[in-house]
Structure 1
């Protein structure tokens, strides 16, 4: 490429890197990403969620001495033993002395919650004779689902253990009956020759793929919305300030457009690289690595084939939308009108994003997802989703890439003609008829 192209690229990159707004925005987004990634850990530390929930119960001597199987005292004692046996118990049973009457007991339990001794307490309502009592968990939290679910699992285990012991089963048989059934999930391919991305993946590898799809989709959306808007606003600002008239005397309009697109691409990739580094650094912090280990997820399991294809679709999607933003920016003379002018392009990008988030991630094999994976304005989002969550045939993958490349060439050619004619058209935004006339008349 000639010096004029690289002059525009260098000018665009230097101009952005020197701008305070760009640097401040990059730093702010990097900080936001760091906070979001570490939010569960921060919540656990500052809210005390890493400590077990203290659940109170009435310590009734009469219940402890009773020979019945399902007395509140027996159940509460077994709950305590159940959670003590766990390596990291999420609940701690706390006994509250019996105050002698139902009203006094209720008052004592509530006072224990108010004093911070317990987070909530259990009440046992008698069921049918010999049956397991109805259990009520009371706390100040509006929806304390984590505690109730944990207690539900524990109480079910205690109930089953008591029933199995009553019929005289040995400890070995009880362990066999109570052992959970484990089902491993493995992705397969039913299309011969299609297994470039999806065959034989375990549940943890599939989880990594889903995470990578999320990251690529959001990064592409951010690149299109942020970098695309910057391209359009830069061109419009140069038109409105009449700088464009000076630029086209030394650099041809085509070199100016593609130089600005490529320059913004380098700026955007630098920004994205900073965000990727921030994400990787935060994900490799000890507490986050421990969380991933607990979920049986390892970053080393990222599929390199999926990563390569995701980057390819990311680049193609960027250049498709960037040329469209440049064309629209060239026909707008005032920055105040830019938002309305680029709205159709923004809606196209949003449509692809929403198809993935609300459709593709839940079921990547629907007809809507399959069809839109070949439509160039949506395929950068949708085909990446199909690659990560299913295993489309290779021929479909390369047809989507070919359609996307052809679309970039067509849109680029059309955008170049619009740009050549639009940069010198001032006043109100030209109509399609006026723009076509100017495009025909331009011979440069």
Structure 2
């Protein structure tokens, strides 16, 4: 005869993973994430592509800046000399003859005053930044020419020096991918946050629905409230784990396919690389780095997700058993929601100093560890004993939390009417029938 927890676990798991909503969410969520990041870039590119060769009238009061500005305009801006009055230029802008007009005071060559760009529409941040750069470089070059600065010095002023960051490891030095792994850490942290929150809500809503329909009163006649709660939490957690593993496999596959796909659009000759050079050499010459996700990072991400989910799901279940409607749960959600939110507020601190005292201490606090320890593991080499110790604390906290939640659950599922206060919940924990 199967244990009641296993029966409830199996029922919760199979009922949810067989649903069309689960299958669609599992397959479409990665597509949605890619679209979330890719579509804004695509739309921006399309907007910029459609605004090439913008005619801009220039009022050059110095009579020396326009030629250089025209040479720098490129494909984006077409600067033309203004021959009409300011009022006529404004009318031309409103009529669509010019996309705007630019006024360059003579005092710019003395390092005073400012240029003013008039247009009917805002133009966007990209247009403002591009115009600022063009005018600034044009004025700077003209001032250097007026001072008869030698070309060699102009070249020095125009040049910039980059710094290559490399990371020392036991196997030697390698390219420092701090930015890339910071981004990966962000994605993993937010993935765990949303997953824990969403699946925890599933638990809470399931408890509320069963309590409202009084189904739970029939179920607890056959099984203990603790067994019912544990089976429900583990079943939904298994569903979430299946989704996380599926997404991890899809991400790993996408990263593996990224290199060959990019090679279709890269000409090695344009980067002075031999045609038979390796994929890594060509991508490195092109300045493209495809991050690799170590299996150990994926393993610990799944493990901390599971621990974090179990910890918070038991709290969500306790809240759900204390109310009859989801709306009534809002006041009781704050003690659960705030600890889940705090790690997001300190992400910047952990990214800047993942091995600092504050980052390390916070990553050992069970309510914060599922997010912060994974973020640290993505950014730096976290000792294995730290990972094991942190996860063990999460697991022990789950055991304590599920015990407390079950005490609230066994009383709350039979209570109806006004939602209890936090003081009443504390009394439920110590209640003895």
1:331–1:425 Cα contact (<8 Å) kept: yes
1:320–1:407 Cα contact (<8 Å) kept: yes
Q: 1:80 to 1:411 in 2, by over 3 A?
A: same
Q: 1:111 to 1:315 in 2, by over 3 A?
A: same
Q: 1:293 to 1:12 in 2, by over 3 A?
A: farther
1:435 is aligned to 2:416: no
1:38 aligned counterpart, secondary structure: helix
Q: 1:83 to 1:302 in 2, by over 3 A?
A: farther
Counterpart of 1:68? none
1:347 Cα offset (Å): 2.2
1:95 aligned counterpart, secondary structure: strand
1:342 aligned counterpart, secondary structure: helix
Say which is worse superposed, 370-379 or 398-407, in terms of deviation: 398-407
1:94–1:118 Cα contact (<8 Å) kept: no
Counterpart of 2:150? 169
Name which of 313, 317, 321 aligns with 1:322: 313
Normalising by structure 2, we get a TM-score of 0.74
1:122–1:138 Cα contact (<8 Å) kept: yes
1:130 Cα offset (Å): 7.1
Q: 1:19 to 1:367 in 2, by over 3 A?
A: same
Cα deviations across residues 229-281 of structure 1 (Å, max 9, x unaligned)?
11022123223322223323444444322221122123334555676688889
2:56–2:101 Cα contact (<8 Å) kept: yes
Name which of 160, 180, 183 aligns with 2:163: 183
2:208–2:325 Cα contact (<8 Å) kept: yes
Q: 1:128 to 1:405 in 2, by over 3 A?
A: closer
1:181 aligned counterpart, secondary structure: coil
1:327–1:418 Cα contact (<8 Å) kept: yes
Counterpart of 1:95? 80
Q: 1:276 to 1:48 in 2, by over 3 A?
A: farther
CA distance, structure 1, for counterparts of residue 402 and residue 285 of structure 2: 48
Counterpart of 1:9? 9
Counterpart of 1:384? 374
Q: 1:364 to 1:54 in 2, by over 3 A?
A: farther
1:375 aligned counterpart, secondary structure: coil
Counterpart of 1:348? 339
Name which of 210, 213, 216 aligns with 1:238: 210
1:215 Cα offset (Å): 1.4
Counterpart of 2:273? none
1:186 Cα offset (Å): 4.0
1:41 aligned counterpart, secondary structure: helix
Where in structure 2 are the equivalents of 1:363-378 lying within 5 Å?
364=354, 368-378=358-368
Cα deviations across residues 27-71 of structure 1 (Å, max 9, x unaligned)?
9967754542233234325534564362523498xx9xxxxxxx4
Cα RMSD between the aligned structures? 4.4
Name which of 184, 188, 191 aligns with 1:219: 191
CA distance, structure 2, for counterparts of residue 110 and residue 181 of structure 1: 42
1:41 is aligned to 2:22: no
2:162 aligned counterpart, secondary structure: coil
What 5-or-longer segments of structure 1 have no aligned partner?
64-70, 190-194
1:149 aligned counterpart, secondary structure: helix
Q: 1:243 to 1:255 in 2, by over 3 A?
A: same
Where in structure 2 are the equivalents of 1:224-373 lying within 5 Å?
224-272=196-244, 296=287, 298-332=289-323, 335-356=326-347, 359-361=349-351, 364=354, 368-373=358-363
CA distance, structure 2, for counterparts of residue 59 and residue 142 of structure 1: 20
Cα deviations across residues 332-391 of structure 1 (Å, max 9, x unaligned)?
45555333333321222122333326x445665665544322211112222233334455
CA distance, structure 1, for counterparts of residue 80 and residue 246 of structure 2: 53
Q: 1:427 to 1:78 in 2, by over 3 A?
A: closer
Q: 1:293 to 1:96 in 2, by over 3 A?
A: farther
1:321 Cα offset (Å): 0.9
Normalising by structure 1, we get a TM-score of 0.73
CA distance, structure 1, for counterparts of residue 55 and residue 250 of structure 2: 40
1:58–1:96 Cα contact (<8 Å) kept: yes
Q: 1:148 to 1:383 in 2, by over 3 A?
A: same
1:121 aligned counterpart, secondary structure: strand
What 5-or-longer segments of structure 2 have no aligned partner?
266-282
